[in-house]
Structure 1
Amino acid sequence: METTSRCSSDDHLVIIGNGMASHRLVEILINQPQRPRAITVIGAESVPAYNRILLSPLLAGDMQHDALTLRDADWYADNGVTLCLGERVETIDRENRTLETDGGHTIRYDRLVLATGSRPTLPQVPGIDLNGVHGFRDFHDVAELEAIAQRGGHALVIGGGLLGLEAAEGLRKRGNRLSVSVLQRSGRLMNRQLDATAAGLLKQALVKRELNILTHAQLAKLEGDANGHVCAAVLNDGRRLPTDSVIIAAGITPNAELGREAGLNTDRAVMVDRYLTTSDPAIFALGECCQFEQHTYGLVEPIWHQVDVLAAILSGEANDGYREAPTATKLKVSGVALYAFGPTDPEPEHDELRYQDPQSGDYRRLLLRDGRIEGAVLYGDTRHGTWYFEQALAGTDLTPYRQALLFGAADVEVLKDQQNDTPHLSTSEAA
């Protein structure tokens, strides 16, 4: 399978999806000497690509709608890119290399990129299809949640990860007459990133803001009123929580249906090799809709790596392909800075270092194995996070500086200098 050949004169690249990954790919391609001759981007939403990461501050009223737009429609035209908005691709004809949109258009491609993203994972419980159940993924969802905040009453957020907490905090800030609860199935918030202590600190901070946090709480069903609108959530333990709205933020499901219906190899998502190529050599997949080996994606860093690889492939440049790499998560949840990488829970052979300042609210925990950092959780003061991650990637043996590690690079360097300045006694002198 040739993945690095030069673009032919009739090369038409079509990208299905107009999210952040798609847009970043286009931005790189238009500056390549061997860019595809023609590029068409098809987006189901009626607006150009925007920064979905900023939907939370938009909901909270901390940012204006226009500030999220990555480029306006004129930018695409100025760079020779055809932008088709408000149309959804319904079928792909791989034999004839054409696709059909719900607007009745037939578009031919030479190479095709699937960048269709993902959608909220809906709990498989009775009542999930009632009116008043919402996601939190796009501009439309933000508008729905803004209306909920203005109406007041009670909103229930399903999911205590980053997206759920940001949705809950945004609703709280927007709605003076709105009470907001968060339902988390796990025993701690953000259980994939935080250990129990950091999760507890975060919960305390959010409860002080009058968010109602329920952990170890699993949704059993939703109840509706006579008009088919959600009115209550029932938990597995029998508790019944009255609510006017439910926001689902408990994971994502890759939008792989289009590829699956076209006969591409799929598992949880559209399968790709290390060149982001699907089982059809003319079709690639990128971002949240793709699966490489056993991995699917929801964080920006690995997707940006995929974009770089695919841009090189589509521009005819030699490339070693995509490789999985350790990633660190740097987040700001409701104004609280967090930085984490590696395992969240220690194993018996880990050397665990902890520091906590109750007055400032700062907390950090390091997991070491044989003197090498394997994991870190930083809450509040995250200045040293990048340095810890660099040491972990390098596999640096930090045993001689263990006592200074919790205070970051500067203290480690001071200890190094002190050790280097210490006179070494001979055996006879020591005796």
Structure 2
Amino acid sequence: MLKRRLLVIGGGMAAARFVDELCIKAEDRFSISMICGEPWAPYNRIQLSRFISQGGDPTQLLLYSPEWYAERDVTLHVGDPAVQVDFVRRVVYTERGEAFYYDDLVFATGSHPICLDVPGRDLDGVFTFRTYADCAEIRAYARGARKAAVIGGGLLGLEAARGLLDLGLEVVVVHLMDRLMERQLDNRAAVLLREELEGQGVRFLMPKETVAFLGDGHVERIAFSDGENLDIDFVVQSIGIRPNVDLARAAGIQVRRGIVVDDGLHTSAPNVYAIGECVEHRGVVYGLVSPLYEQARVLAERLAGNEAQYRGSLVYTKLKVSGVDLFSAGRVEGPGLSSFVVEDERRRVYQKLVFGENGEIQGAILYGDVEASSRIVAAMASGASISASPLQWLAGGRPVLTISDDSEIVCTCNGVSRREITQAIVAHGLTTVKAVRQATRAASTCGGCKARIEKIIAEVRGKKEPICSCTELSRDEVVAFLKSGRYLTVLDAMRALGWKTEEGCPKCRPALNYYLNMLFPKAHRDEPVSRLVNEREHANIQKDGTFSVVPRMYGGVTSPADLRRIAEVAEKYQVKMVKITGGQRIDLLGVHKEDLPKIWADLGMSSGFAYAKAIRTVKTCVGSEFCRFGVQDSTTLGIRIEKKFERLNTPGKVKMAVSGCARNCAECSIKDVGVVAVEDGWEIFVGGNGGLKLRGADFLCKVATDDEALDWIGAFLQFYREEAEYGERTSHFVERVGIERIRHHLSDSAVRRELNERLEEALSVLEDPWEARIRELSSTTTNLT
């Protein structure tokens, strides 16, 4: 059968999702081509804000691989935008003169960023924030800059501001209105958001009207309507978007604010459709991803021959800024509405439900605790009223029977319900978030629902995976058995638990050894034979069989005497390389195994634990003691943290950092535990990872004193020790458990006290392994003599 030629103009997220949906629903009935104006295949624009601070290759953002398009016979034409449409001949011409003939045409041309029409808008250093190219240019320009301004206090503007702050810049947000995100927030939520971001280091000028950008060839100042000026190095504009309708208008299609479509997403031209940010439907233009995906699904259904209508979309969003949990949906203020508000000032939680005349939810704001967001979306979508107690409902109660648990929208970006996820898990035996994402698209956009999906997987399967092939028991079952039986050796535990093999394997032996040590720190005697090679030898093995030795340097601070001693040892044992590590320590590389005890003895320093699943280094900046930007003494706190928790065994290695200001020179945002100074205390972040799978840390809490910081960090570490699987880094642990659960659990001072007491018991029996090995060898030598 001859395939219909379908042409998509546009290479954004809506276009890519439509092609994906159509390939599934219409099978091989269409020959599909896409004209992408940008030089890349469709990519995830929602993740752009992190690229401002972290950089990277645009291929990391691609929604689908090149092989995906090839397997579906989809032709991608990139870097050459469409410039003319001929409806009579049914052909589209590109800028380079390429001609694409079609039977059905889809406009998915997206939108343009709105720019201020003021003098100086063409100066160097004035940017927009919309594409990957924008991010790359901003990063390049920022290298020689000190102070940046973001014009616009909306969703994207705040995300851009946070990205620039992470680059170490002073950041000022200039906003025309008197409150942030005025369309999504009420006054109280806007105040809380501003206070949080000010604590992170962002300044605000609002309300403030920009009337000119001033400078000699490049921007140097911003002029305001009140006569004031602001000295600046560069500017990022993020004040909204405008549908890209120029091509459609030139072709004669009906256009108002956007390309006008009906409920079937038809335009005014035959066989021509439109979806995405370029569309105006029933007078509404949408700029969020979930409505665009809904349009893509409906159009794919219709072109596949099925009945489907687009009736409009529920609008909701989450702010993706480190340290801020914020959700907004629907109408948050207005005539004919009533509201229910609850605020916990201590936890900085603000929640507001907005009701219509019949008691149905018309809108909501959640700040500081967004756990109820998926229930709110489900309730708003159904139009049903909730139970008589909004407080109970927000805290975890269920809506009325017309809204079942299964209808809960777990992935708000893609509109994937709990029912769809559950069905996929059962039908295909899925066990991982990645498998669920491939089957349902849940967690494929912003990734904020990963922890929720992991919980659903665990609930549906009823039992977690065994810790290894030697047993059928899960981690939780093993720990429960060990706790009840007080088995004190790995072999005793394996025999009692019915292990399939007599001596276990390299995966389960270290795990059992850790669990026993964690449960019974005073009674259990550590078993070196059940540890990995690095922990047995107390050094890091290299690919040539030699080892590296990293002596402890608290907080990265050393002395001339220690440096002299390290240099003498390196020369004495002909160390191949002396290197500064990423954690501000000195690494002696190329040490032979037989020389390890002698080097430890000559150094006379304690082990830096650069080889173990344990507390590693605490990286610090110079802080207020020397730095002109420092607001707290980060070095002193870093040393206190390192001395407090050194040698502590943990499920995975733990790296920590303390920064003396929001410029974050110690890279706290990608550490297992990061502490960032603010004017009135410290902000603590957890679950970061700067390794193979990059992950930004989640905000845990804000404290006023060093002692409070140690209290919270100790409680978090012990909670992680007790609840995580062996080998699980904090990044995956925090994603799996959920930062909300962790934060809520640790907010109870009695819980923190109990966790710290158990932590102190574990710390009380630890000693430096280098000293212990030297003492052991010395005793053996004496006995032989």
- Per the TM superposition, whether the score is higher than 0.5 is yes
The correspondence for 1:57, drawn from 47, 50, 63, is: 50
Match of 1:390 in 2: 378
Match of 1:361 in 2: 348
What is the CA deviation profile of residues 306-345 of structure 1, one whole-angstrom value per residue up to 9, with x for unaligned ones? 00111112222222x2111333323333331112223222
Gaps of 5+ in 2: 402-785
- Tell whether the 8 Å contact from 1:387 to 1:409 is kept in structure 2 after alignment: no
What is the deviation of 1:254? 0.8
Correspondence 1:324 to 2:317: no
What is the deviation of 1:403? 5.7
Correspondence 1:265 to 2:254: yes
What is the deviation of 1:410? 6.0
CA gap of 1:151–1:263, structure 2 versus 1, over 3 A, is same
Alignment-mate amino acid for residue 388 of structure 2: P
- Give 3-state SS (helix, strand or coil) of 1:409's partner: coil
Cα distance between partner residues in 2 of 1:31 and 1:390: 26
Cα distance between partner residues in 1 of 2:349 and 2:149: 29
The correspondence for 2:120, drawn from 111, 114, 127, is: 127
The correspondence for 1:249, drawn from 229, 238, 256, is: 238
Q: Higher relative contact order by CA 8 Å / sep ≥ 6: 1 or 2?
A: 1
Alignment-mate amino acid for residue 367 of structure 1: V
Alignment of 1:6-405 (within 5 A): 9-61=2-54, 65-174=58-167, 176=168, 178-225=169-216, 228-319=217-308, 321-345=309-333, 347=335, 350-370=337-357, 371-398=359-386, 400-402=388-390, 404-405=392-393
CA gap of 1:252–1:411, structure 2 versus 1, over 3 A, is closer
What is the CA deviation profile of residues 260-301 of structure 1, one whole-angstrom value per residue up to 9, with x for unaligned ones? 111111111111111111111121111011111211110111
What is the deviation of 1:122? 1.1
- Tell whether the 8 Å contact from 2:387 to 2:400 is kept in structure 1 after alignment: no
Count of aligned positions: 400
- Give 3-state SS (helix, strand or coil) of 1:333's partner: coil
Cα distance between partner residues in 2 of 1:22 and 1:375: 29
- Tell whether the 8 Å contact from 1:111 to 1:282 is kept in structure 2 after alignment: yes
- Give 3-state SS (helix, strand or coil) of 2:376's partner: helix
What is the deviation of 1:412? 9.8
Match of 1:417 in 2: none
- Tell whether the 8 Å contact from 1:36 to 1:314 is kept in structure 2 after alignment: no
What is the deviation of 1:201? 0.8
- Give 3-state SS (helix, strand or coil) of 1:198's partner: helix
- Give 3-state SS (helix, strand or coil) of 2:19's partner: helix
Cα distance between partner residues in 2 of 1:212 and 1:323: 41
Query: Please, what is the CA RMSD of the aligned residues?
Result: 2.2
Cα distance between partner residues in 2 of 1:311 and 1:142: 32
Cα distance between partner residues in 1 of 2:391 and 2:243: 45
CA gap of 1:251–1:362, structure 2 versus 1, over 3 A, is same
Correspondence 1:407 to 2:395: yes
CA gap of 1:232–1:36, structure 2 versus 1, over 3 A, is farther
Cα distance between partner residues in 2 of 1:264 and 1:336: 42
CA gap of 1:315–1:400, structure 2 versus 1, over 3 A, is closer
Cα distance between partner residues in 2 of 1:248 and 1:200: 22
Alignment-mate amino acid for residue 187 of structure 1: D
Cα distance between partner residues in 2 of 1:148 and 1:13: 41
What is the deviation of 1:103? 1.6
What is the CA deviation profile of residues 238-261 of structure 1, one whole-angstrom value per residue up to 9, with x for unaligned ones? 111111211110000111000011
Alignment-mate amino acid for residue 347 of structure 2: S
Match of 2:699 in 1: none
Cα distance between partner residues in 2 of 1:395 and 1:409: 18
Cα distance between partner residues in 2 of 1:191 and 1:378: 15
- Tell whether the 8 Å contact from 1:346 to 1:367 is kept in structure 2 after alignment: no
Rg larger for: 2
- Give 3-state SS (helix, strand or coil) of 2:46's partner: helix
Cα distance between partner residues in 1 of 2:44 and 2:238: 18
What is the deviation of 1:72? 2.5
- Tell whether the 8 Å contact from 1:100 to 1:106 is kept in structure 2 after alignment: yes
CA gap of 1:197–1:62, structure 2 versus 1, over 3 A, is farther
Alignment-mate amino acid for residue 294 of structure 1: G
Gaps of 5+ in 1: 1-7, 414-431
- Give 3-state SS (helix, strand or coil) of 1:288's partner: coil
Between 368-377 and 182-191, report the one with greater CA deviation: 368-377
CA gap of 1:412–1:90, structure 2 versus 1, over 3 A, is closer
Alignment-mate amino acid for residue 370 of structure 2: T
Cα distance between partner residues in 1 of 2:355 and 2:369: 20
What is the deviation of 1:90? 1.1
- Give 3-state SS (helix, strand or coil) of 1:169's partner: helix
Cα distance between partner residues in 1 of 2:258 and 2:203: 35
Cα distance between partner residues in 2 of 1:343 and 1:118: 24
CA gap of 1:242–1:24, structure 2 versus 1, over 3 A, is same
CA gap of 1:62–1:366, structure 2 versus 1, over 3 A, is farther
What is the CA deviation profile of residues 153-197 of structure 1, one whole-angstrom value per residue up to 9, with x for unaligned ones? 2211111011001111101102x2x21111111111111111111
What is the deviation of 1:208? 1.1
CA gap of 1:81–1:352, structure 2 versus 1, over 3 A, is closer
- Give 3-state SS (helix, strand or coil) of 2:325's partner: strand
Alignment-mate amino acid for residue 213 of structure 2: L
Higher strand share: 1
Between 45-54 and 309-318, report the one with greater CA deviation: 309-318
Cα distance between partner residues in 2 of 1:22 and 1:9: 24
CA gap of 1:74–1:243, structure 2 versus 1, over 3 A, is same
- Tell whether the 8 Å contact from 2:151 to 2:239 is kept in structure 1 after alignment: yes
CA gap of 1:212–1:323, structure 2 versus 1, over 3 A, is same
- Tell whether the 8 Å contact from 2:147 to 2:234 is kept in structure 1 after alignment: yes
What is the deviation of 1:393? 4.1
- Tell whether the 8 Å contact from 1:132 to 1:229 is kept in structure 2 after alignment: yes
CA gap of 1:36–1:366, structure 2 versus 1, over 3 A, is same
- Give 3-state SS (helix, strand or coil) of 1:336's partner: coil
Cα distance between partner residues in 2 of 1:264 and 1:403: 50
Cα distance between partner residues in 1 of 2:391 and 2:51: 43
- Tell whether the 8 Å contact from 2:150 to 2:157 is kept in structure 1 after alignment: yes
Alignment-mate amino acid for residue 193 of structure 1: Q
